[in-house]
Structure 1
Amino acid sequence: MSRSLPVGLTALAWAAMQAVQAQDAPTSLTVTPPPGQRLGAWLTQHHPEAAATVYEPGLMWQSTAARRAQRQAREALLRDISAWAADDALRKAQTGPLLALLRELPLTGRRPLASTDPWRMQTASGLEPLTAEGDVLVLPQRPERLRVVTAKGLACDVQAQPERIAADVLRACGVSTDWVWLVQADGSTQRLGVADWNAQRQQAPAPGAWLWVPPDTPDWPEHFNTRIAQVLAEQGVAEGTPAPRPLSETISPPPRDLPLSTNDWGMTGLLQTPSARMPEAGRVALTVSRTWPYTQTSATLSPFDGLELAVRYTHISNKLYGPSIAGDQGYKDKSSEIKLRLLDEGRWQPALALGLRDPGGTGLFAGEYLVASKRWGSLDLSLGLGWGYLGARGNLANPLAVLGDRFQQRAQADVGRGGTAHLKGLFTGRTALFGGVQWHTPWDGLSLKAELDGNDYQHEPLNNNVDGARSPVNLGLVWQRGPWALSLGLERGRQWMLGLSLHTNVAQMSRSKSAEPAPWPVSRPALLPAPSAARSTAGPSADTLQALALQTGWPVARAWQDGATWVVELDNSQGNSLDERLDRGVAVLHERAPDEVQQFQFILMQQGVAVSSRSVARQAWAAPRWSWTGHAPVLDSTPESVQRPAPDSAEAHRPARQGNGGFSLGYQQHVGGPDGYLYALSARAQGQLPLWEGAWAQGTLQARLLDNYERYRYTAPSALPRVRTLVREYLTQARVTLPYAQLSQLNRWGEDVFSLAYVGALEPMFAGAGAEVLWRPQGGRWALGLDVNRVAQREFDQRWDVRDYRVTTGHVSAYWDTGWQGLEAKVSVGQYLAGDRGATMEVSRRFANGARIGAWVTKTNVSSAAFGEGSFDKAVYVSIPFDAFLSAWSTQTLSVAWQPLIRDGGARLNKLHTLWNLTGSRDPRAWRQAE
């Protein structure tokens, strides 16, 4: 380990190093461009040799304004560190050298560059700075060193070598740590795990990089590291004398991420057993595994870091549902699982997680577990304690028995309807240890697994004990390539396991819109306010509006000029990329508008009804796009009142509203019923025709192309009016159906209140009429709604006839955006399709790209016995906007829901449109800068 020097000597040594570095003239060239010059163009024209030989990552653009901001940030950092150490003598001693070092570092005034290549800068004005008075360019040559800075205030320079990782550099300096901040020569920063337990795939330090090693103090604030790394990023490349230390000849292998894979039950783990590992938020996985006599089909969701949920169907091939239900179909059970991380892994501390399997289902496979995981390089070890099914071997007493006798015996699982929480049985009965090891082999993507199973398979549900479970040790391997993982194992000493998993992260989905017209370049500078003069009132021209519609993908309803503002109404302005589409529209208007226009206002509409309004200041928008200002430009728009009457002259710019339609493929599936997996591939024709302001007609014609509905024989029993359990009849009666056909009328009352009335075939099973009212303040986090509907049940062929059943249904709904990690909630209270009354609670995590992971439960005044299997209605779902994976704009959303059972209780009307969706542009989270 490096020895620390007294604070005074450290400061003197650092100052001497800086002085020597400043005298090392051949390593850098400093030039001062005149103001008002394009940086890249000026550099290549006036210093072509230097531009050709400069070490591009280290090219520094320095400004006086940035120097002032850095001084303020530096002083604030010094104050905060001093305050943190003020009342502790040991902290003072630890931070003294660091404070001295930070004080000595020069204030460079470095500003980040979109590109450090002088030639690439010139390809787009938004990449190239426009120089100002006092700007300086520093052009370094390729350095030969890396610099390590520790909390003890010491700088150790190490020889730079290609592809040598951070751990090699730290070893050369005699520094041992778990985490390091890598600051590359271009100013980018990254936190790296460099110990055996947290190694990760990472970039190698480039020549001239800095490495900041935080103090080994548990209570050291993490935000200090971010700010110190930023200070080092402002220094540019690490240069100086004397000669840097050489790296060891021993080359460390490139670090790799810890591979995560699902177990047989769809949860992150080994084979039969779970581990304490967790996927990152947004991950969704589908896993199918087969180990006789069980076939598990699991969907796993991770709405938050540290939380993993799974829902699954288990097919038991050697047990039957019963001839009266499904003939010779194997038995099928529905279950769920939740795992919560209690502790993060540390240098000595393992990750710790708590899990509940099937806490509210039939209880066939119910169990609980506490599991810890610890990593050493390529090995990941897990050890856990299981109750219930996971501890069925029962070779250990329950450690919780010290809390009371009730923990000693576990009640026999009450296999029944499901949907009832088994709280009394949690963590009761005898237990068993489980655990194992995963080895990440040198062949990337291939991992080997070995585990001790806590189940002896002699207490299986339905008295289905597995004969010949020869060994408690299971062996397996998993081969992962991209989103796919293939698993193979030998379990119980004799049974082969085969598994397949497909996963993705819905929060990280994005796709450039290459199928759309290329965005307009910004070829006009930011404008200063025009001198007072007679202003035009003509507004945008017809070809400008045509280009605007092409760029945004939304039709233009009207446009006019109001003083120094161009106002544009955009109809049917829905979708997920509202800010990106509007930003493209501003580019068109900025190019075409006269200098006197200083603001653009966009009124976003639905079917000719104004829903929301966003205003963009022209000069503030153009400045960062005309030249690089040190930050990536985002659309900075502000909400405004939609009450802006248009002059009569604007009618000339009102194109006729046009209908639209198209063809698409549809896919339906039913999983987990007695009839097995059922599917249907259909062709759909959709059409929409505008009528008058706020009114439109819409319909869908559907034809089944390919399906296996001939196997759909089971109709669930019901003690309620059959509003949903006749699903088999609706799906099999006719091949060509009309699932939707309705007239709708949208209105806005005042600034924040909307109404929607509708009549027709509102969904495949019900037709009728209804209305909805919604109060939704623009930019607010709360909204209240009410809907009332009088509907009749449609005939099975989904044409025009209706059945005898009629009902009034409706709800009062409250919406709440919590503002915490995208968590949103909705509560609806009212009457459902079967005449039952109750409430539905829905919660979801919404990610920045519009994707959602959510769940809902409904409880009504219907008893569990009358409701039937499942006891109450519930589901989990994943929703992904098509914008996230298509190369063209889309207003459609892909939604996949797992609803364990379809029952008549708690059934809601599935309408084509809701006011919440139609008014989506009023949501502050629809505009990224508001998040």
Structure 2
Amino acid sequence: MRRSLLTRRLLATTLPAALVMGSVSSTAVADPMLARNLSSFGLPGGIDTPTAETLADGTLGASLSWSDYARRSNVLFQALPDLSVVLRYSRVEGINDFRGEGYISDRSLDLHYQLLDEQGWRPAVAVGLRDFLGTGVYSGEYIVATRNVTPAIRVSAGLGWGTLAGKPRTIDVADEGGTPNVDDWFTGGANPFGSVSWQVNDRLSLVAEYSNDTYLARYSNGREFQQGDAEPGSNLNLGAYYRLGRNYELGLYTIGGETFGAQFSLALNPREAPYPSGLEKAPAPVRPRPAPAADPDGWSGSWSQDPTAQPAIQKALGDAMAEEGQILEAMALSANRAEVRIRNQRYVNQAEAVGRTARLMSRALPPSVETLVITSTADGVPTSSVTLRRSDLERLENTEAGQIAAASLLSDAPAYAEGMVRSPGIYPRFRWNIRPYLDLGVFSAEDGLTHEVGAQARASYEIVPGLVLTGALRQRVFGNIDQRGPGIGLPGTRGQYYTPEEYLADPALETTPQGVPRVRSDTRMYTGNSSPTIPELTLAWYAKPTETVYTRVTAGLLERAYGGVSAEALWKPANSPLALGIEVNRVRKRDFDSLLDFRDYEVTTGHVSAYYEFAQGFTAQLDVGQYLAGDRGATVTLTREFANGWRIGAFATKTDLSAEEFGEGSFDKGISLSIPIGWATGQPTRDRAGTTLRSLSRDGGARLEVQDRLYDRVRESHSVRLYDGWGRFWR
């Protein structure tokens, strides 16, 4: 089989590097080679150069580095045990663009893949792509090998291309970025680089490295810029890094012996929570049933003929569940079988809610009840049922959770079940809260870091099961996210914006010069309001027409910029990793005061979606359809979720808009992050903190932001997600 040119280049450089480094020692190392510190580019490395190290699987990291050459903000995610991904926002000093401010703001993306871990005589070997989707200021590729010489000393050596070889690539001034320049990878000649790391003690490490980076930027129009004040005085860089606690690190370094820099890094491992065991109250233990001779009436089942028995049992069980942060919505009870429908309001893992409910049922039910059915609900709709025998619950309480999982049965919950009695006082139900809010803007070339702080009041009124009225009211207090019109977008006007007054006065400006409706590029027109705003006001109806089909219809002010009607249907069997969905929305653009008025733009959007849950918490999602600007295409999303509730994902959207019509970035892409609040506080809660990092807000590939789409609401109690967290059944 004939190998591609890129494959031949990799093979020609990876094997010699591995063999050279492999000759250093033959001592076997069992543990994976984890990074001692992050480089100024946010990846495992020395100071500027990479190493073949990785971080612990699932680690989320961030670093800030400052020097005369650049200020870099890096967000790192260890997506797989071998794959590291970095999204970077840099202020590159010494380069002038259309603003003439003596620096540029640049976004870039890196991939780092460890081909081999250290084993025996063999070093760890990694390959990487630096700045392969940006404009190319830091563009370069590398092959690197790393070896432990002694327990304290670690050596790395590699070959670099592009900036890593001291041969910066020519940047096309017309390039909008966002498209990988595959033809440039591993071309232009390579040069060696290397580093030595000495772990002085548990906290301090010292690094020396040989780097080829000249910090030059060349453009296709013939202009050349020296980043910083001058080219590095030598190829030798030195650094010292000091670890503060388990998650934080400070570093000082010198580049070429003349330029000094500083760095702050943090790394959070989802498997290393500040409170690994949580601070929640221990559950009530399983209560074994008495011998038949000790309670003949209870074992006979005659109690079930008493009309006062179920109301009394249901109230006692509901009160006990309320103390556990759960709602007993309904119950069906017979002499040998009990089914409860529960709403989990406290625990991130549904398995913990199911396990605590099972214990409470063992304490509240008469001894003749052997079959326990626990049905989870979401928005008043049943999603799945766990059926187990009470005798198994009593027998397996002090064993590992896997044994009770094997003894239980997960099934689809029917929409309607015979004999279910709704608990009194559950509906209608009113809830409200007032909390501060913080909106952050990152990775903006013109604005840098922006913020807005204020207060938000939020309320929901559940009229009957499945019918929910929700609203929110916001009041800005302070911030630097002010109202601004979109970019002018004409030749020679890069970096210039319409004023809000100009934009409001001319409706024709709500279409870009390329003919694309401004559905997201005028987002800043919705900010800076000193008066109260209504970010959301909706009436939603959730239903379940069959055992495996769920539906949602939402009407009202769906999000900050759009209002209308959204309808969704989802097919999701409880024991299937596959789900299929369809969504159709008819929406109109809201006025910029975010109150009750609308503008003229109206559009129908919709998508057909497929979801699949893989091993290790990965979920793939494909959405195909029409977006807010009327463009058609597809979005691919890959999300990884850990048993403790961390979710980190990446997405990319490509539509029928050309790169010129889309604008800078060429297509939409970004990273999403959602972390349970309970992970940091130790207190059980379903509240989450999340954000989406995208370098640009463009009109192409823009999707409606509807709250509580069905898939994430339903899947929590279905097989893959439920059993991923089943270890908490006995918590």
TM-score normalised to the size of structure 1? 0.67
Which residues in structure 2 correspond to 1:454-853 (within 5 Å)? 454-458=212-216, 463-466=224-227, 467-481=230-244, 482-509=246-273, 511=275, 516-524=280-288, 534=302, 536=304, 538-539=309-310, 541-571=313-343, 576-625=348-397, 628=398, 637-643=408-414, 650-651=421-422, 655-673=426-444, 674-710=446-482, 715=487, 717=489, 718=512, 719=514, 720-818=516-614, 820-853=615-648
1:558–1:654 CA contact under 8 A, matched in 2: no
Deviation of 1:802 after TM superposition, in Å, equals 0.8
State the AA in 2 paired with 1:484: Y
Partner SS for 1:833: coil
8 Å contact kept, 1:262–1:268: yes
Q: Which of 196, 203, 207 is the equivalent residue of 1:445?
A: 203
Equivalent pairs counted in the alignment come to 661
Paired residues for 1:316-327 under 5 Å: 316-323=92-99
1:378 pairs with 2:209: no
Q: 1:334 aligns with which of 107, 124, 130?
A: 107
Aligned-pair Cα RMSD in Å: 2.9
Quick one: structure 1 residues 547 and 897, their matched pair in 2 at CA, closer, same or farther if it must change by over 3 Å? Answer: same
| Identity in percent | 30
1:900 matched to 2:729? The reply is no
Partner Cα distance (1:887, 1:335) in 2: 35
Q: Is the 2:321–2:327 Cα contact (8 Å) retained in structure 1?
A: yes
Residue of structure 2 equivalent to 1:136: none
Give the helix-richer structure, 1 or 2. Answer: 1
The 5 Å alignment of 1:140-151 reads none
- Structure 1 gaps, min length 5: 1-193, 202-256, 395-409
SS at match of 2:94: strand
Contact 1:364 1:415 (C-alpha < 8 Å) held by counterparts: no
What does the per-residue CA deviation read over 1:149-188, in whole Å, with 9 as the maximum and x for residues that have no partner?
xxxxxxxxxxxxxxxxxxxxxxxxxxxxxxxxxxxxxxxx
For the 8 Å contact 2:145–2:156, the answer to whether it is kept is yes
Write the distance in 1 (CA, Å) between the matches of 2:384 and 2:419: 22
Contact 2:344-2:353 within 8 A present in 1 as well: no
Alpha carbons of 1:568 and 1:657: their partners in 2 closer, same or farther (altered >3 Å)?
farther
> SS in structure 1 opposite 2:443?
coil
Max radius of gyration: which structure? Answer: 1
Q: What does residue range 380-419 of structure 1 map to in structure 2 within 5 Å?
A: 380-392=154-166, 416-419=175-178
How much does 1:487 deviate?
A: 0.9
- Asked if 2 retains the 8 angstrom alpha-carbon contact of 1:548 and 1:585, the reply is no
Q: 1:868 to 1:607 in 2, by over 3 A?
A: same
1:383: Cα distance to partner?
A: 0.3
- Contact (CA 8 Å) 1:756, 1:771: kept in 2 or not? yes
Q: How far 1:320 moved relative to its partner? A: 4.4
Q: CA deviation at 1:564?
A: 0.9
- Counterpart AA for 2:709: T
- 1:850 CA drift (Å): 2.4
Counterpart amino acid of residue 194 in structure 2: G
Say which SS state the counterpart of residue 389 (structure 1) adopts.
helix
The answer to whether the 8 A contact 1:527-1:595 is kept is: no
Deviations 1:36-72 (A, max 9, x none): xxxxxxxxxxxxxxxxxxxxxxxxxxxxxxxxxxxxx
Q: Is the 8 A contact 1:485 1:500 kept in 2?
A: yes
1:430 and 2:189 correspond: yes
Letter in 2 for 1:756: R
Give the aligned partner of residue 86 of structure 2. Answer: 310
1:367 aligned partner: 140
TM-superposed deviation, 1:775: 0.7
Equivalent residue, structure 2, for 1:35:
none
The partner residue of 1:264 within 33, 40, 45 is 40
Secondary structure, counterpart of 1:541 in structure 2: helix
Is the 8 Å Cα contact of residues 634 and 929 (structure 1) preserved in structure 2?
Answer: no
Shift of 1:911: 0.7
Letter in structure 2 aligned against 1:305:
P
Aligned 1:37-436 pairs, distance under 5 A: 198=29, 260-323=36-99, 328=101, 330-376=103-149, 377-392=151-166, 416-436=175-195
8 Å Cα contact 1:777-1:922 kept in structure 2: no
The question of 1:879 aligning with 2:647 is answered: no
Q: Is the 8 A contact 1:513 1:889 kept in 2?
A: no
> Per-residue deviation at 1:509?
3.4
Structure 2: stretches of 5+ with no match in the other structure = 1-24, 490-511, 727-731
Q: Which amino acid aligns with 1:314?
A: S
Could you list the per-position Cα deviations for residues 363-382 of structure 1 after superposition, in whole angstroms to 9, with x for gaps in the alignment? 22211000000012201100
Secondary structure, aligned partner of 2:205: strand
Distance in 2 (CA, whole Å) between partners of 1:871 and 1:344 is: 36
Q: 1:616-673 CA distances to partner (integer Å, 9 max, x unpaired)? A: 3211112233xx4588876664223423855668356564341111122222111222
Give SS of 1:754's match. strand
What are the Cα deviations for residues 179-202 of structure 1, in whole angstroms up to 9, with x where unaligned? xxxxxxxxxxxxxxx99663879x
Specify whether residues 666 and 196 from structure 1 end up closer, same or farther in structure 2 by C-alpha distance, changes over 3 A only. Answer: farther
Shift of 1:702: 1.5
Task: Give the Å deviation of 1:460.
Answer: 5.7
Question: How far apart, CA to CA, are the structure 1 residues paired with 2:167 and 2:650?
Answer: 34
Question: Aligned residue for 2:711?
Answer: 916
Q: Is the 8 A contact 1:329 1:675 kept in 2?
A: no
Cα separation, 2, equivalents of 1:898 and 1:651: 43
For 1:602 and 1:799, how far apart are their aligned partners in 2? 43
SS of residue matched to 2:322: helix
3-state secondary structure, aligned to 1:305: coil
Question: What is residue 502 of structure 2 aligned with on the other side?
Answer: none
TM-score in terms of structure 2 length: 0.85
Alpha carbons of 1:379 and 1:712: their partners in 2 closer, same or farther (altered >3 Å)?
A: farther
Give the SS at the match of 2:394: helix
> How far apart are 1:556 and its partner, in Å?
1.5
- Higher mean alpha-carbon deviation, 712-721 vs 764-773, is at 712-721
Q: Is the 8 A contact 1:689 1:696 kept in 2?
A: yes
- 1:620 alignment partner, SS class: helix
Q: Which has the higher contact order (CA 8 A, sep 6+)?
A: 2
Q: Distance in 1 between matches of 2:353 and 2:488?
A: 47
What is the CA–CA distance in structure 1 between the aligned matches of 2:399 and 2:129, rounded to whole Å?
52
Q: Whose strand fraction is larger, Structure 1's or Structure 2's?
A: 2
Q: Does 1:927 align with 2:722?
A: yes
Offset of 1:493 from its aligned partner?
2.2
Partners of 1:354 and 1:498 in 2: how far apart?
26
Give the 3-state SS of the residue equivalent to 2:616 in structure 1.
coil
Please give the alpha-carbon distance, in whole angstroms, between the structure 1 residues aligned to 2:715 and 2:34: 39
- Structure 1 CA distance for aligned equivalents of residues 134 and 394 of structure 2: 58
Using the alignment, how far apart are the partners of 1:594 and 1:303 within structure 2? 49
Aligned to 1:10: none
